Structure 1
């Protein structure tokens, strides 16, 4: 009797160990976060998407967020065809509001870079101590080695906004980066640049002369890998209604998270899930059958 009890306990323990990963994975990867569609290389939590992107793109309380060393920023949309993320910064100055900011930066080792459409306008910059200005000629003549010479029109339009005009400063204290040139660290430290605020936009919305209609925010590019090739395993997984992810092992190997709540190393080759929200793979069933019949022979 004791032998049978021990055998049953052993079988139960093995059954739980084999079932547990399936039960956990059924709650792991989602296909959306709030109103934003989630596809590779992004994910809604650990084990989802590409592990290189997971520390920077997170879903918390149905809000998709982009995180860098300068702060956390809401993601407004993702253009998967062109591989562009659009984020907003609550400290951006627009026609509606001008406010102080510490700036914005990307982590140097993160798989992101600024999109060429992104335009930064640094506002309220000191003409005497800011490194963006360089004395030249005589009198009050200044050159702007770190500013785009074509940015004067953008500055003029921004200063036509009531919120920006309240700064009561000359337009010459506005400096525009376009295309973005923040150096190898992608860092815009407004305190170091001696500017109190900044504006950022990635499009004019067919209203080039109306800054109230501009698309304010920051456009950021990403790449899948060095060659920027979409992984074939992930494409097959998504075609089978799965979500691309990775395991918790040291090598972060690819897994396909399926609607039934189980992970595979290729795609979701099963039909509808059990009503309980979990299923076993065929290999797992075979292992369980082998263990059970072995125990029966042993008893």
Structure 2
């Protein structure tokens, strides 16, 4: 009996592994980054979460929200209130003054997860020619009774503006839409900071303000609750962006996970072969039946 040639056998084994790997559509979604829980609609792995939020988060040493203007550290995510608090380590605060830069979001981010209404942007050390002090002065509003004098007088970092000009430079409390449509150069203000939960800051001095940006998001009801109750995780097909229920490292479903699959047991991560999969035959040259390996549906 002829002995199969080793190169041919190795080639067939390679074909087998490629066939099996092609069936593995999803990897298991990570549900934590450092100490921040990751739940739907967010995901840090391809195919996890909702497709409109894909590639917005990055998990390295910490969890970061990715925008065209930089990476912003995620301080917390409140899934009940559908909000996320991010912080820019390069942003000026009451205790540190840093070079100004713009806060820029993509068009999709501006629609799906914009800054919340109770987040304000404080434009500081503005020139007298600033648009927000002239033609667009209506964009500035009263922030819980706080003033520019209070800001420049209370904060160690912002006192510099007062000392350099020997006066109180103009400032502007405004919304995200102002910095969305006008850059800091157009606004003609040297620095900005952002504060959230402003409704609760009446009578609270700048030293105790909550510095950062709170984002609000909303997601349509896509049946993820049914998927979660079955032990799965809501995700999407990376090619079609259609919703799928991820049940294990190598198994998914359309709506919910089927019975008999333990989604929390690594041993259950098997490769399901569809009923329509063709028979794969590994045979030596010459058509001999010796050593044939069959994989049946």
TM-score range, shorter chain: 0.7 to 0.9
Q: Aligned ranges for residues 267-278 of structure 1 at < 5 Å?
A: 267-269=256-258, 270-271=261-262, 278=269
SS of the counterpart of 2:215?
strand
After superposition, the Cα gap between the structure-2 partners of 1:76 and 1:154, relative to the gap in structure 1 and judged at 3 Å, is: farther
Give the number of aligned pairs. Answer: 275
Partner of 2:125: 124
Q: CA deviation at 1:155?
A: 3.0
After superposition, the Cα gap between the structure-2 partners of 1:93 and 1:16, relative to the gap in structure 1 and judged at 3 Å, is: same
Instruction: Tell me whether 1:146 sits opposite 2:135 in the alignment.
Output: no
Q: Gapped runs of 5+ residues in structure 2?
A: 290-297
After superposition, the Cα gap between the structure-2 partners of 1:207 and 1:131, relative to the gap in structure 1 and judged at 3 Å, is: closer
User: How many Å separate the matches in 1 of 2:22 and 2:202?
Assistant: 53
Q: Deviations over 1:164-202 (max 9, x none)?
A: 112224444111115x4428xx24511111111111110
User: How many Å separate the matches in 2 of 1:95 and 1:18?
Assistant: 59
Q: Deviations over 1:84-127 (max 9, x none)?
A: 12110123221111222112122223322221010111011111
CA contact (8 A) 1:34 1:62 kept: yes
After superposition, the Cα gap between the structure-2 partners of 1:207 and 1:130, relative to the gap in structure 1 and judged at 3 Å, is: closer
Partner of 1:231: 222
Q: Aligned ranges for residues 220-259 of structure 1 at < 5 Å?
A: 220-224=215-219, 229-232=220-223, 234-249=224-239, 251-259=240-248
SS of the counterpart of 1:52?
helix
* Structure 1 consecutive aligned stretches of length 4 or more whose deviation exceeds 6 Å: 1-11
Q: CA deviation at 1:32?
A: 1.2
User: How many Å separate the matches in 1 of 2:8 and 2:104?
Assistant: 59
Q: What's the TM-score, normalizing by structure 2?
A: 0.77
User: How many Å separate the matches in 1 of 2:231 and 2:168?
Assistant: 54
After superposition, the Cα gap between the structure-2 partners of 1:273 and 1:126, relative to the gap in structure 1 and judged at 3 Å, is: closer
CA contact (8 A) 1:48 1:244 kept: yes
User: How many Å separate the matches in 2 of 1:84 and 1:273?
Assistant: 28
After superposition, the Cα gap between the structure-2 partners of 1:176 and 1:40, relative to the gap in structure 1 and judged at 3 Å, is: same
Partner of 1:177: 174
CA contact (8 A) 2:236 2:244 kept: yes
User: How many Å separate the matches in 1 of 2:55 and 2:202?
Assistant: 36
1:291 aligned to 276, 279, 289, which one?
279
User: How many Å separate the matches in 1 of 2:242 and 2:98?
Assistant: 45
User: How many Å separate the matches in 2 of 1:172 and 1:152?
Assistant: 18
Q: Gapped runs of 5+ residues in structure 1?
A: 136-142
- Say which is worse superposed, 199-208 or 7-16, in terms of deviation: 7-16
SS of the counterpart of 2:138?
coil
CA contact (8 A) 1:92 1:198 kept: yes
2:270 aligned to 266, 276, 279, which one?
279
Q: CA deviation at 1:213?
A: 1.9
User: How many Å separate the matches in 2 of 1:181 and 1:196?
Assistant: 18
Q: CA RMSD in A?
A: 3.5
SS of the counterpart of 2:185?
helix
- Say which is worse superposed, 268-277 or 42-51, in terms of deviation: 268-277
Q: What's the TM-score, normalizing by structure 1?
A: 0.76
